[in-house]
Homo-oligomer: A and B are copies of this chain.
Amino acid sequence: MIPKDHPRYRSLMVRERLSQCAKEGIVALEGLAAHGRGEAFDYLLGERTTPSALQAARTAAALLLTADRAVISVNGNTAALATAEVGALARASGAAVEVNLFHRTEERIRRITALLEEHGVDVLTGTPERLIPLSHDRAWCLPEGIGSADVVLVPLEDGDRCAALRAMGKQVITIDLNPLSRTARTATLTIVDELTRALPNITAACSELDSGTAARLAGSLDNAYLLRAAIEEIQERLDHALD
């Protein structure tokens, strides 16, 4: 039992939730290490949504709202940590939800789909095809999902697949706490923020933006600026780290 007054209570509870989901086969063991990497960068960002991350979340809402077909790609960590938040964003944005895994097994797809459906999320079904230009299991996606989407929101994506989706001409929105990662630099738009903070910010912006503002925001997207701002936030904190 983690005491509620522990200074790291939230962080410890999240780790416990992920460990439990790993035991249940929802989260891959590799997903636990990936979460740790994110935690380190979140620590450096002050575990809060920075102004530039909020701006990125609003821009993400604009891309989703102005898309012809938007899809939210959900992996094990996302399902474990943000089931409700994914459902709320899908409803607010009109985006479809596809379960798509880096460490793909039919068993994990089934378990993650069940978890999302228990929380009232509509999940795309169909016959996956090898549509993404990558070797191995990472090539699979649904033709009626990511395969035909013009905008894909992929929280916690890997760099290779982000590049492959971009090469297919898709706009890729990612949520990645590491502003230096290949994913962060390859995506169309990177929200440098923690998943359960970023998703509700996108959802809120979906309700607020009128179509004119959405089109303007989508048109003025500058990912290099957003990444630089995130790095500057980290530098600012490091400057005062030992005060």
What is A's interface to B at a CB cutoff of 8 Å?
15, 18-19, 22-23, 29-30, 32-41, 43-44, 178-180, 224, 227-228, 231, 234-235, 238-239, 241-242
Contact = CB atoms under 8 A, between A and B. Distances in A.
Nearest to A36: B36
Q: How many copies does the complex hold?
A: 2
Contact of A37 (B23, B40, B228): B40
Contacts of A234: 238
Nearest to A242: B228
Contacts of A41: 40
Contacts of A228: 242
11 contacts: A19-B33, A29-B29, A33-B35, A33-B36, A35-B36, A36-B38, A36-B39, A37-B43, A180-B241, A228-B242, A231-B241
Contacts of A34: 36
A242 B235 CA distance: 13
Contacts of A238: 231, 234-235, 238
Contact of A235 (B38, B43, B179, B235): B235
B43 A30 contact: no
- Which of the listed residues A30, A35, A36 has the most CB atoms from chain B within 10 Å of its own CB? A36
Top 4 nearest A-B pairs by Cβ distance?
A: A36-B36, A40-B40, A33-B36, A32-B32
A237 to B, nearest CB: 9
Nearest to A33: B36
B40 A15 contact: no
A39 B43 contact: no
A110 to B, nearest CB: 21
Contacts of A22: 29
A22 to B, nearest CB: 6
A239 B234 CA distance: 11
